[in-house]
Homo-oligomer: A and B are copies of this chain.
């Protein structure tokens, strides 16, 4: 039976989860995959921690040099995170010809060129299923499940923290700050929640997933990004009344006009399969020109779900001859030719506070008309004293047109724009 030696770099939540899965399933993989996978080495700054979690002392390495010079190590699993030591260690492993499996979205997003070049040059494998949407095999699906298709669109709920917060705000009526606090208490959100709530985490993943779906590198800088920290309970309740649910959606589209990639809070119809993806669950909804609509749903984070993705990559690497060093199938020349859409189209939800007097509605309607924005619904939801709240849902239109109209509304002096959110029409 083929024997495969694994080294785990970083023994935090994900590293330890991966270790436990490999230990507990060794016999399962021997029986079902015809491969014997053994953890040969663990690199962890806090050696005591690794030992207290069951790693034999002689398997705890002292340096990356020790790991990569170990001839029993075939596959190096990186669970450190960030782009300091992780990048250095992964590059060292690839240069030594070791296959790398990583869960590091920031590293893969920002340095895929460098990693792929090194992997190719040294004939090493490079796998990163765990970098996107935890245990959900979305990368395997894009590469080996729907690869017969021209993928036209991808919509994902790919950040568990923000989905938890929005679910609490939608179903529990919590305020943004209360929902965030609850997420922090449960360990879903970090003390500094910026990376999650401002959409950076989702943007990394969207960059990776859309690069794979559209067969060209989609750099982070091309991803339009807006977080959920400005979302209010009023927006969510208005949406609910109109049959919509608010989600932090990562959207990738490919058309003749180019590639469009964006992360923003978006209303979707409550009947859409993505609308019932709640709490910390994640899902990705793909549309291909042959397969039609396909959705994958599951846990986007956690020690064992993420470990499941890492170990699936290890098994894949161990049982397939072809090294997947060139998954993005891109090169600098091709990338230069890629067009990106800057002025994308969408339907919009716009909430205004207006002065409750005659002529105001006509003024606002005229302003939208002048910007070629046509209105699906206009509802007065509340009024008090001399003010009223107006909610407008538009037909699909250009983002720039909406920005123009919104700027002009503020100039009128009779209305204030409270929020602008996108709607999947």
Instruction: Check: A343 CB closer than 8 A to any chain B CB.
Output: no
A320 touches B (CB below 8 Å): yes
Task: Give the complex CA separation of A311 and B329 in angstroms.
Answer: 20
Interface residue? A120 (CB, 8 A):
no
Does A215 count as interface, using CB distance less than 8 angstroms?
yes
CA distance A335 to B92 in the complex (A): 46
Confirm or deny: A229 has a beta carbon within 8 angstroms of a beta carbon on chain B: no
Please list 25 pairs of residues, one from A and one from B, whose beta carbons are closer than 8 Å in the complex, sorted by A's number. Answer: A25-B148, A28-B150, A29-B148, A32-B215, A135-B290, A135-B291, A135-B294, A136-B291, A137-B294, A144-B144, A145-B145, A271-B276, A288-B308, A289-B304, A290-B304, A291-B298, A291-B299, A291-B304, A292-B298, A292-B302, A294-B297, A295-B295, A295-B296, A296-B297, A320-B322
A34 to B215, CA, bound (A): 12
Q: Give the distance in Å from the alpha carbon of A292 to the alpha carbon of B316 in the complex.
A: 20
A243 at the binding interface (Cβ < 8 Å): no
Question: Which residues on B sit within 8 Å (CB–CB) of A32?
Answer: 147, 215, 329
Complex Cα distance A315/B149, Å?
11
Find out whether the CB atom of A315 lies under 8 angstroms from the CB atom of B148. yes
Pick the contact of A147: B33, B271, B305 (CB < 8 A): B33
List B contacts of A149 (CB < 8 A): 25, 308
- A174: Cβ under 8 A from any B Cβ: no
Copies of this polypeptide in the complex: 2
Q: Smallest Cβ distance from A168 to chain B, in angstroms?
A: 16
Chain A residues 147-183 with CB under 8 Å of chain B are 147-150
> Closest CB of chain B to A213's CB: distance in Å?
11
Q: Which residue of B is nearest A135, CB measured? A: B291
Give the distance to chain B from A398, nearest Cβ to Cβ, in Å: 29
Cα distance, A150 to B146, chains bound together (Å): 25
A296 to B294: give the CA distance in the assembly, Å.
Answer: 7
Nearest B residue (CB) for A32: B215
**Alpha-carbon distance A142/B294, docked complex (angstroms):** 16
5 closest Cβ contacts across the A-B interface? A137-B145, A148-B311, A135-B291, A291-B308, A294-B298
Task: Evaluate contact between B316 and A319: CB separation under 8 angstroms.
Answer: no
Q: Is there a chain B Cβ closer than 8 Å to A184's Cβ?
A: no
A293 within 8 A of partner (CB) = yes
Are A140 and B144 closer than 8 Å at their CB atoms? yes
Interface check A307, CB cutoff 8 A: yes
What's the nearest-Cβ distance from chain B to residue A79, in Å? Answer: 15
A290: chain B residues within 8 A (beta carbon):
17, 21, 25, 135, 304-305, 307-308, 311
Whether the Cβ atoms of B146 and A137 lie closer than 8 Å is yes
Query: Which of A21, A129, A148 has most chain B Cβ within 10 Å?
Result: A148
Contact B298–A297 (Cβ < 8 Å): no
Whole-angstrom distance from the CB of A164 to the nearest CB of chain B? 15
Does A416 touch B at the CB level, under 8 Å? no
Q: Is A31 an interface residue (CB 8 A)?
A: yes
Give A129 Cβ to nearest chain B Cβ, in Å.
8
Decide if B292 touches A304 in the complex (CB within 8 Å).
Answer: yes
- A312 interface residue per 8 A CB criterion: yes
The 8 A CB mask of A97-115 against B (1 = contact, 0 = none) is 0000000000000000000
Contacts A321-B321, A322-B320, A322-B321; A148 near B292 (Cβ below 8 A): no
A369 within 8 A of B: no
Residues of B within 8 A of A25 (CB): 148-150, 290
Chain B residues positioned under 8 Å from A17 (CB to CB):
290
Query: Which of B291, B309, B322 is the one whose CB lies under 8 Å from A319?
Result: B322
Tell me if A193 is interfacial: C-beta within 8 Å of chain B.
no
What sequence of 0s and 1s flags, for each residue 235-276 of chain A, a beta carbon within 8 Å of any chain B beta carbon? 000000000000000000000000000000000000101001
- In whole angstroms, how far apart are the Cα atoms of A289 and B20 in the complex? 12
CA distance A316 to B308 in the complex (A): 22
Q: Does A141 contact B (CB under 8 A)?
A: yes
**Bound Cα distance from A271 to B275, whole angstroms:** 12
Interface residues of A in 193-248 (CB under 8 A from B): 215
